[in-house]
């Protein structure tokens, strides 16, 4: 009863202020959206006549995202970067739905949005915090001598990069650089110097939404005859894709999930099989196919890269074949010479037999 008397004694101005304070402190709705995707920023109001709706990006800078009144969209004052990317659910306004759909989301769309609504029944406002993410899709890793390079591109917000080795290394001297691209996305790269290559090296890149890692295993050396089987290290299932390359930039084959491998035209004549363990079986290799063979296999969280330096050893059978060819050529040439001499001798004898007697 005492509390009721107190409330009756509060002026209308104080009640309005308390109502506004409650609306402000009830908290923002948080929406997460991936870059280039579509998002719905929610907003509800008390449905009535003469709707006025304003969506404003308050932070990091004030910008009009979308307006509606007089029964139609009013986009004269809309900020240019929102042009063609916003819309209301016009068929749901009568139900009190003033939500905004934002398409082709950009990194600079991140921020705090205010939804202001007004009708003959009154006005209200609510707030939405939009978080934009460009997750880590791929971590590239490469080795040149004792220097390992790791990079990833098109990330948001600012990512972090870490190195690790197996077996563990006490000190990993690295140099990491983060750059902001023209689309306000982050590119990160790092260089790691190792005293030797007898370790597995892992590079991990992490953003707010996810993280991925790529592991470069120890480089192996293999000497084979014209038929070779090259091994691959696979990540934990389910595997999403596998790629075999020659000398880093020439594709041999690609395989997505559990589909059949797609072999390049150049390597079709050498391809025999791709085993369940990822091993690549090739045939009829020559010295032209000597070099670095790389297997990259990925799942949803990591990529494992295996490098094999292959040397082709000439087989005894090949040597015999070569020797046989050489002997055959020598015999043919010798026979031609002998036949030529015999023919010349016969012609000479005939010439001498026809000479007149003096």
Q: Which residue has the tokens 């192996």?
A: 220
The rounded Cα 299 to chain-centroid distance in angstroms is 12
pLDDT at 324: 58
pLDDT band for 353, please (50, 70, 90 cuts). low
pLDDT at residue 328, rounded to an integer: 65
Write down the pLDDT at residue 325. 59
- C-alpha pair distances (Å), 15 with each of 46, 55, 118, 167: 19, 26, 19, 67
Residue-by-residue DSSP string for 205-251: EE-SS-EEEEEEPPPEEEEE-SSEEE-----SSSP-EEEEEETTTEE
Return the CATH number of the domain spanning residue range 134-216: 2.60.40.10
Q: Measured between alpha carbons, how far is 95 from 72 in angstroms, rounded to an integer? A: 16
Which numeric CATH code is attached to 219-319? 2.60.40.10
> What does each C-alpha distance from 102 to 36, 50, 68, 198 come to in angstroms?
10, 24, 15, 50
The residue assigned the tokens 């001798």 is 345
Q: Which of 24-28, 283-287, 318-322 has the lowest mean pLDDT?
A: 318-322
Same fold, 28-133 and 134-216: yes
The string of pLDDT tens digits covering residues 237-269 is 999 999 999 998 899 999 998 899 999 999 999
Token pair 């406002």 is at which residue? 125
Q: How far is Cα 128 from Cα 113, in angstroms, rounded to an integer?
A: 5
**Residue that has been written with the tokens 């085993």 in this structure:** 275
The mean-pLDDT minimum among 134-148, 165-179, 207-221, 280-294 falls in 165-179
| Whole-angstrom distance, CA of residue 89 vs CA of residue 87 | 7
Q: CB atoms < 10 A from the CB of 358, how many?
A: 3
Closest CA to 165 of 155, 150, 144: 150
For residues 126 and 22, the model is more confident at 126
Spans of all domains in the chain: 28-133, 134-216, 219-319
Whole-structure pTM value: 0.76
Query: pLDDT (tens digit, 9 = 90+) per residue, 160-218?
Result: 999 999 988 767 888 999 999 988 999 999 999 887 778 899 999 999 999 999 999 99
Average pLDDT of the chain is 86
Q: Is the pLDDT of residue 316 over 70?
A: no
Burial of 232 (0-12, 13-18, 19+ CB in 10 A): buried
- List of residues 6+ apart from 234 with CB closer than 8 A: 242, 277, 278, 297, 304
Determine whether domain 28-133 maps to CATH 2.60.40.10. yes
């Amino acid at each position: 009863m005492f509390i009721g008397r107190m409330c009756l004694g509060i002026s209308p101005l104080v009640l309005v202020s308390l109502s506004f304070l409650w609306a402000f402190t009830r908290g923002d709705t948080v929406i997460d959206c991936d870059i280039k995707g579509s998002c719905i920023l929610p907003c509800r109001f008390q449905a009535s006549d003469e709707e006025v709706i304003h969506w404003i990006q308050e932070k990091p800078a004030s910008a009009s995202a979308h307006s509606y009144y007089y029964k139609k969209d009013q986009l004269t004052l809309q900020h240019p970067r929102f042009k063609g990317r916003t819309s209301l659910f016009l068929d749901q306004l009568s139900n009190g739905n003033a939500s905004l759909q934002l398409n082709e989301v950009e990194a600079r769309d991140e921020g705090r949005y205010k939804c202001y609504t007004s009708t003959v029944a009154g006005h209200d406002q609510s707030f939405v915090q939009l978080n934009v993410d460009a997750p880590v899709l791929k971590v590239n890793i490469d080795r040149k001598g004792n220097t390992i390079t790791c990079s990833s591109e098109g990330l948001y917000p600012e990512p972090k990069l870490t190195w690790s080795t197996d077996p563990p290394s006490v000190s990993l001297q690295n140099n990491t650089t983060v750059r902001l691209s023209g689309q306000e996305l982050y590119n990160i790269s790092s260089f790691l110097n190792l005293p030797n290559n007898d370790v597995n090296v892992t590079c991990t890149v992490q953003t707010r939404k996810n993280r991925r890692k790529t592991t470069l295993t120890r480089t192996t050396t293999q000497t084979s005859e014209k038929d070779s089987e090259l091994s691959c290290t696979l990540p934990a299932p389910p595997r999403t894709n596998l790629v075999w390359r020659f000398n880093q930039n020439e594709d041999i084959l690609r395989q997505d999930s559990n589909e059949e491998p797609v072999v390049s035209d150049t390597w079709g004549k050498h391809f025999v099989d791709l085993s369940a363990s990822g091993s690549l079986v090739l045939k009829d290799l020559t010295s032209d196919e000597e070099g670095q063979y790389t297997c990259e296999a990925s799942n949803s969280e990591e990529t494992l890269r295996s490098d094999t330096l292959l040397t082709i050893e000439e087989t005894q059978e090949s040597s015999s074949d070569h020797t046989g060819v050489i002997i055959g050529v020598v015999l043919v040439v010798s026979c031609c010479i002998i036949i030529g001499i015999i023919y010349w001798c016969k012609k000479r004898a005939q010439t001498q037999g026809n000479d007149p007697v003096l």
